Amino acid sequence: AGERGEANMTGARRRSKQGKRYVAKEIEGADNLPFGGKVRLARRRKPDGWLVIALEVLGAAAVFVLVYLGYYHQESVHFHLNHMYAHAGHAHAQHVVAHKYLHGNGVPKNSSMAFYWFRKSADQGHAHSAYNLAVGHMQGFPTDVQKGEAKKLIKYAAENGVHEAHRVYHEACRAGKCDH
């Protein structure tokens, strides 16, 4: 056995063959530094594994695809995102989906689906959807509005800040045109 207990070290290098080890030097007056004034050398970093590289490539490809879809298919992407939130029960998203179906923005026109989504949004208290549902019923679109319900919907919309509903309520509903 050696003087320092280095004999019989199987599989390990001896310190004498390894070379001189670096010892950090103390810097005077640097007690407030993170390592107490010792300067340490940076260690060489291992290269990234194949999984990390694959995830980086997939992330870059996903960004490219999303930018492409957002630029060239904006209406369709907007419709599908709002449609997802509409199914989750978000009232404003239901209102937006109804408008998309009514006007055919990003999706083929479908008035029955439009008024289906206006109804779902109005049932959650969305004032603009209540107004659109009632006016659509008064204009002859196929809706599930019952007799006398259009007047209640327009009154609700007028009370909740829909400016067009004030005029319709005072002109059309008071004349009895909302009761059919």
Asked whether residue 6 carries a pLDDT value surpassing 60, the answer given is no
- Residue 176's alpha-carbon distances to 10, 84, 116, in angstroms, are 101, 39, 25
For the chain, domain boundaries: 74-173
What share of the chain in percent tops pLDDT 90?
53
Which residue type does 95 have? H
What share of the chain in percent tops pLDDT 70?
76
Asked whether residue 8 carries a pLDDT value surpassing 80, the answer given is no
**pLDDT confidence of residue 42:** 64
**pLDDT confidence of residue 175:** 80
pTM over 0.85: no
Q: Using CA atoms, how far apart are residues 150 and 137, in angstroms rounded to an integer?
A: 7
**pLDDT confidence of residue 16:** 54
Q: Using CA atoms, how far apart are residues 88 and 83, in angstroms rounded to an integer?
A: 9
Domain 74-173 indexed as CATH 1.25.40.10: yes
Residue 169 DSSP symbol: I
148: left (phi over 0), alpha (psi -120 to 50) or beta: left
Mean pLDDT of the chain: 84
Greater confidence (29 vs 118) lies with 118
* Confidence band of 177 (pLDDT split at 50, 70, 90): confident
* CA 101 to chain centroid: 22
**With b meaning 16 or more CB within 10 Å and e meaning fewer, what string describes 14-44?**
eeeeeeeeeeeeeeeeeeeeeeeeeeeeeee
Structure tokens at 101: 């179906």
* Confidence band of 112 (pLDDT split at 50, 70, 90): very high
**pLDDT confidence of residue 46:** 82
pLDDT in tens, 40-64: 666 777 888 999 999 999 999 999 9
